[in-house]
A = this chain, B = another copy of it.
Amino acid sequence: MQTQVHLLTMAHPGDVSALDALINSGAVDAGRIVAVIGKTEGNGGVNDFTRGYFTQSLMQMLSGHLQASPAELAARIPCILSGGTEGVLSPHYVVFCRAPAQAANGNEGKGGALAIGLAFSAPTAVEQIGRASHAHQVARAVRAAMDDAGLDDPADVHFVQIKTPCITVARAEQARACGLEPVSGDPNKAMAHARAAGALGVALALGEIDEAALTDAALLSDMALYSERASVSSGVEISCNEVIVLGNSPRWRGPYRIAHRPMRDALDIGAVAGALSDLGLAASPQLGQDALGRIAGVFVKCEPQRNGRVRASRHTMLDDTDINAQRHIRGAVGGMVAGVIGDGRIFVSGGAEHQGPDGGGLIAVIASGAQDA
């Protein structure tokens, strides 16, 4: 098998014309699309409806190409979106297809080519969201996705994208009316808990943390527990957990490989250079035109440091009543990564609780081989 990757742009959150055109031209076989990861231009918070709008538009369009209803497709193709294109970030989506392998392509001798695996969990109950049992549910789904990709060794996994459900004020009220207590009645707080559960679920599945460490109390509290490869978004539009596992495997073919690095803080520009370097790409200080042409996807998680400082200096993100702290940090880290890459089509997602070192995050890059490879 091989993974095909298409980095596409949108004019607004209801615009899926770029993918529609590729399908109509035959460049993409709609039936082989297995996952979509993207950024839409909402605020990235509880009341960001650009994610649901894009997903509805995508599934409706695909439904016109395939013998399935939008609902059936949504239940089969994870479409994981992060809202918020602050600063230089540009709305875009990355479409992953699974296709029969082409002939040899140069990645055989380099430890394999990009592999993708998927899984959907059962729905998570509102009172379960953001708790340890939620993390265990995610861990099981990650292992299922690794099996799906044929990735046996956790070391070969470089990026796990999760989308978890979250809790709105209305959902919290419903639960309480049934005598069930949601993890938090504050929607933004509950969203953070949901992301934390997703992240520690990945960490557990990849052997980055011990099962014993994964308790209700540890979530959003023991920040020494984290995954270097988990990226978790949370949204009102879903009720189960969607998992996409990406890694490199000698069983797979194709021009793409993936690399990742943890980011120790919001100024860790070295992590960006490091992930690029693992793929044979040098930014000095920015990728050249050829190297930029090889980039098929850049995925970043980041987080405003909770002690109110970035290294020695005070930041003001957490004290700002006007701009949400996640919007601040996405804009800043997005600016830095986009500066190194030379392009604003970077997936930068805030809310990196337990995703990379505390106050930092992680980066994963997918690139094709050099022309001459």
Contacts and interface: CB of A to CB of B under 8 A. Distances in A.
A313 interface: yes
Interface string A181-203: 00001111100000000000000
A176 B60 CA distance: 33
A103 B43 CA distance: 51
A105 interface: no
A9 B187 CA distance: 21
B50 A49 contact: yes
B283 A86 contact: no
Contacts of A92: 313
A284 to B, nearest CB: 8
B319 A11 contact: no
Contacts of A237: 14
Interface stretch (A26-34, A127-135, A341-349, A364-372): A341-349
Interface residues of A, number: 84
A14 B318 contact: no
A331 to B, nearest CB: 4
Contacts of A335: 87, 266, 331-336, 339
Interface string A261-303: 0000011111011000000000111100000000000000000
Contact of A41 (B86, B169, B316): B316
Nearest to A46: B319
A296 to B, nearest CB: 15
Nearest to A48: B321
A45 B92 CA distance: 21
Contacts of A285: 269-270, 272-273, 283, 285, 340
A345 B314 CA distance: 9
A24 interface: no
Q: Interface centre among A14, A316, A336, by most B CB within 10 Å?
A: A316
Interface string A301-335: 00000111011111111111111100111011111
B44 A14 contact: no
B322 A173 contact: no
B269 A332 contact: no
A286 B315 contact: no
B329 A87 contact: yes
Contacts of A268: 339
A168 interface: yes
Nearest to A314: B90
A89 to B, nearest CB: 7
A23 interface: no
A310 B186 CA distance: 17
B313 A343 contact: yes
Interface string A229-251: 00000001100000000000000
A13 interface: yes
Q: Interface centre among A14, A317, A335, by most B CB within 10 Å?
A: A335
Interface of A: 9, 11-14, 41-50, 52-53, 56-57, 60, 85-92, 168-170, 173, 185-189, 236-237, 266-270, 272-273, 283-286, 306-308, 310-324, 327-329, 331-336, 338-340, 342-345
